[in-house]
């Protein structure tokens, strides 16, 4: 049965609130790029110094992989899952409408918008009022914990960015945005590929962070191509429900994911390379946008530029002397 599309505004808040109440669900196959692939993508994208880059990208303990640990693992919007759809020309009785699929994508975008806003606020603690780097807030000698609890400002910023970037990276693996279909007729087991080489226009996270949720939601809906799909995965979607299964739908595991080179869709053409290239370009864009936002949001005395310096350097007190 088709579920009604919920109102988009407020979906993210409900999903994030639910995180603390979720219990662990039975295990299943990985719902995202493997940790190694997330690490490779993130390292290629970021011109950061080694210890800071490891804190963000590490396959097991990096911020960008924190959403692949429970309870975050079990929430579809944190991985851009469940935006599956096939147009009537491909599947006349497909059990999800374009609007329902787009609602799931909106929820995915919303997770990154919320994390971006939090990261900008957390960055204020990196430097003092005069733009001097705060040693106690930028020291990574003790590992960050990625548990959303109060801690050093640098850990807080990295956690928010990592959790916000994870679904964006997953999108390129979990969707047909950049890939190509296998030869033969399109259908549930062979959804059409959009073969796009550019970054997705509906991930304009910095700009959306300054807009009302209802406004950027309308823009995202207008930008979604008719044939865009991400795979159905039996996790909690934006309605707070857990799909009973993916029978009759484009499935994440069977049909669409490119989480590893060995997955079925990754073996078509060079789809794995396309997915990783798209995700890498996306993080390059997102980091540049965050840099720009810090400089714009904290212009006084060059504080924003000092925040950027503090984020990319392992010893920012030495590397980022105030003017």
Q: pLDDT class for 12, splitting at 50, 70, 90?
A: very low
3-state secondary structure of 251: strand
pLDDT digits (tens, 9 = 90+) for 204-240: 999 999 999 999 999 999 999 999 999 999 888 887 7
Q: What is the pLDDT of residues 142-173, one digit of tens each?
A: 999 999 998 999 999 999 999 999 999 999 99
The predicted model gives 163-185 an average pLDDT of 97
Q: Which helix (H) or strand (E) holds 137?
A: helix 135-138
Which residues make Cβ contacts (< 8 Å) with residue 259, sequence separation at least 6?
30, 32, 33, 34, 37, 173, 174, 266
Model-level pTM?
0.90
**pLDDT of 73 above 90:** no
**Which CA distances in Å does 209 have to 116, 141, 168, 251?**
7, 31, 15, 31
Residue 14 pLDDT exceeds 90: no
What is the structure's pLDDT at 34?
79
3-state secondary structure of 236: strand
Task: Give the integer Cα–Cα distance in Å for 39 and 60.
Answer: 9
**Helix, strand or coil, per DSSP, at residue 52:** helix
Q: Span 230-254, mean pLDDT?
A: 86
For 75, which DSSP code? B
CA distance 44 to 53: 10
Q: Say what the pLDDT of residue 32 is.
A: 66
Closest CA to 29 of 238, 225, 267, 263: 263
Classify the C-alpha dihedral 95-98-99-102 as positive or negative: positive
CA-to-CA distance for 269 and 193, rounded, in angstroms? 11
């Amino acid at each position: 049965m088709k579920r009604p599309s919920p109102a988009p505004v407020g979906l993210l808040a409900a999903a994030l609130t639910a995180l603390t109440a979720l219990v662990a669900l039975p295990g299943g196959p990985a719902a995202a790029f493997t940790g190694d692939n997330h690490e490779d993508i993130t390292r290629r994208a970021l011109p950061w110094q080694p210890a800071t880059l490891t804190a963000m990208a590490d396959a097991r303990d990096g911020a960008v992989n924190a959403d692949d640990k429970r309870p975050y693992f079990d929430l579809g919007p944190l991985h851009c899952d469940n935006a599956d759809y096939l147009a009537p020309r491909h599947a006349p009785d497909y059990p999800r409408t374009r609007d329902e699929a787009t609602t799931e994508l909106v929820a995915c975008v919303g997770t990154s918008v919320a994390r971006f806003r939090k990261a900008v606020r957390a960055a204020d603690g990196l430097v003092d009022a005069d733009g001097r780097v705060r040693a106690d807030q930028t020291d990574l000698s003790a590992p960050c914990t990625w548990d959303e609890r109060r801690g050093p400002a640098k850990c807080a910023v990295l956690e928010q960015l990592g959790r916000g970037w994870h679904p964006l990276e997953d999108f390129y693996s979990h969707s047909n945005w950049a890939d190509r279909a296998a030869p033969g007729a399109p259908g549930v087991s062979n959804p059409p590929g959009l073969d796009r080489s550019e970054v997705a226009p509906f991930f304009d996270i910095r700009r959306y962070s300054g807009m009302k949720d209802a406004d950027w939601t309308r823009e995202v809906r207008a930008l979604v191509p008719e044939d865009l799909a991400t795979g159905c995965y039996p996790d909690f979607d934006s309605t707070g429900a857990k799909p009973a299964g993916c029978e009759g739908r484009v499935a994440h595991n069977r049909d669409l994911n490119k989480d590893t080179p060995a997955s079925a869709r990754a073996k078509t053409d060079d789809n794995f390379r396309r997915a990783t290239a798209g995700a890498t370009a996306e993080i390059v864009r997102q980091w540049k946008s965050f840099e720009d936002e810090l400089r714009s949001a904290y212009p006084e005395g060059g504080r924003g530029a000092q925040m950027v310096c503090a984020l990319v350097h392992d010893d920012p007190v030495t590397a980022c002397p105030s003017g």
